[in-house]
Structure 1
């Protein structure tokens, strides 16, 4: 899998990235061996971008990812983590379970902190959990309700750390496009991670993607399956969209997209990966993967070409925003 250095980013990305939230027991637990095997399978598939965060399993994802990468050449991969949530010990709650979607004991609580000191503390904690002396990309994580502090305090702190060579690249990661567009236009970020807003079911980030393409900001695209609805060729009734039960209308739309894709010899998850990765601003499609089997399946899907005629037909059927249709000949991830 070819690694690229898009735009002005000083770090390299592979077209397929490994999302580390499942290693933090997102929704359900995985054991240490399964987590390690998933990372190893990603490496063997040519994946060289690994993304994690303190938020994922109260640090469990970072600890597992650090152990799995420990025997691999440090200059051979790009590691991304995030700042904005400080993990504070709560040993008195260790008998409880985390209440933010991760199947882990509530041994810590998350405290929002986008101050300069908070950025440094968060990064120090991440390095300790990862067992590393540096990370390649640091993203300001979910500053939706803290935009001013993120722009005026967290960003300058990261800018300084990048200038000092402590980190290679900086950016922001969110589930919305509007604030990411502010980062792309008002700051000197290298990359943004956009989750769930540029998919076969939602194309609300056209302006952000175009801005990033113009300004040389690399886009890492997550949530391409919209948390599950696009992950199966025939989405089940219990499928989720943005981590909630999918509305019937959206599930029906996904089924129509799947039917059109089948006429082109393409599965729904294959189309989901290819569509998101086809925009010229997208440097990597980052998929959350919890097992070696999932890694191998997704890597195989990402490697299969998708005919560009599919996008035109979906637009003609009213299932895709015509303004988001990839240009003919646009590469699949």
Structure 2
């Protein structure tokens, strides 16, 4: 089963693989393990794969392209991103861990949402992926760019032109800033928004403006960061679990533990409930989870395939002030 993205011809599987981890996110991943992770995702039914030049200074794209080379090109959808150009830096020393990736710092990122930068970025990505087309191109974190307006002013029109030319299938934007997402949903004709960590079982700020606008305008959502960086990825979250790539504040941890307690009461694991909730909004076409090991994507796929949690769980969470009453829940 696949779900269409907006009014485009691109369709994605309900569960997708995020390829940041195979770009050596925080720690080195061997080549064979990266390949095995892509193969495990495929065997689990995943047919949507997301990457970006930012992930491992191009390593994620290279590894994902090699991993997908064994499969028919028309059998899957792939997204990558624009906004950060990779420039060779032969004088670079050390690693890229300051940006989160355990790779040699032989390249550096340059923000560029210009029309020329968009076309260059896509060309570079195609070469790293070893593909002749990219299904979905997303503007990556425009809110973090020194010139955030350039994404609206130049990058979107360039991508729209490529979409009309048939070079790419769908256009979107990815961000963790609901205000930025709502603006693109209102001011452009994007096919898809990638919402990062802003519509999860723990927090639902995207319900205020972003998701209602998507429903009204027929824009699809790819929901990522649904475990809140790992806090919701275990049955019992504790102070060792990351939140927003750092330490969870006491009140956030207490909320996560309250949700986990309710899940236990109803015979459901916290990550199972988190995935089910993340997919339940009618605008969500795919939930994307990251994995750097085959077992991680296999585990997520198993959670995702479980029957919907009982209605009483959601009712309890609402009654206990742990879930917004206006949030759609799984049937």
Same fold? TM cut 0.5? yes
- Which residue of 298, 301, 320 maps to 2:323? 320
- Aligned partner of 1:18 in structure 2 is 17
What is the SS of the residue equivalent to 1:103? strand
* d(CA) in 2 for partners of 1:54, 1:99: 16
Q: 2:192, 2:219 within 8 Å by CA — same for their partners in 1? A: yes
Q: Distance in 2 between matches of 1:180 and 1:31?
A: 35
Q: Which of the residues 284, 287, 290 maps onto 2:289?
A: 287
Partner of 2:198: 197
Q: Structure 1: how far apart are the matches of 2:115 and 2:274?
A: 37
Aligned equivalents of 1:282, 1:94: Cα separation in 2: 42
Match of 1:29 in 2: 28
1:41, distance to aligned residue in structure 2 (A): 0.7
What are the residue-to-residue correspondences of 1:243-322 with 2, within 5 Å? 243-305=245-307, 306-322=309-325
Tell me the secondary structure at the aligned position of residue 21 of structure 2.
Answer: helix
TM-score by length of 1: 0.96
1:133 aligns with 2:132: yes
SS at match of 2:174: strand
Tell me the TM-score normalized by structure 2: 0.96
- CA 1:260–1:96: 2 relative to 1, 3 Å: closer
- Secondary structure, counterpart of 2:260 in structure 1: helix
Query: Do 1:147 and 1:179's aligned partners in 2 also have CA atoms closer than 8 Å?
Result: no
| 1:177 aligned partner | 178
Q: 1:6 Cα deviation (Å)?
A: 4.4
1:2-13 equivalences under 5 Å are 2-13=1-12
- Give CA-to-partner distance per residue, 1:278-304, whole Å, 9 cap, x none: 000000000011111011100000011
Contact 2:95 2:102 (C-alpha < 8 Å) held by counterparts: no
In the TM superposition, residue 94 of structure 1 has moved relative to its aligned partner by 4.0
Moved segments of 4+, more than 3 Å: 94-98
Deviation, 1:325, is 4.0
Cα drift, residue 9 of structure 1: 2.8
Matched residues in 2 for 1:308 and 1:122: separation? 46
* CA distance in 2 between partners of 1:65 and 1:112 (Å): 23
Pair 1:231-2:230 in alignment:
no
2:321 match: secondary structure: coil
Secondary structure of the residue aligned to 1:93 is coil
Q: How does 1:158-173 map to 2 (within 5 A)?
A: 158-173=159-174
For the aligned residue pairs, the C-alpha RMSD in angstroms reads 1.1
Contact 1:9/1:217, CA 8 A, preserved across alignment: no
The secondary structure found in structure 2 opposite 1:82 is: strand
Partner SS for 2:109 = strand
1:106 is aligned to 105
Taking the aligned partners of 1:254 and 1:262, their CA distance within structure 2 comes to 12
**Unaligned regions of 5+ residues in structure 1, if any?**
none
Asked whether the 8 Å contact 1:83–1:141 carries over to 2, the reply is: yes
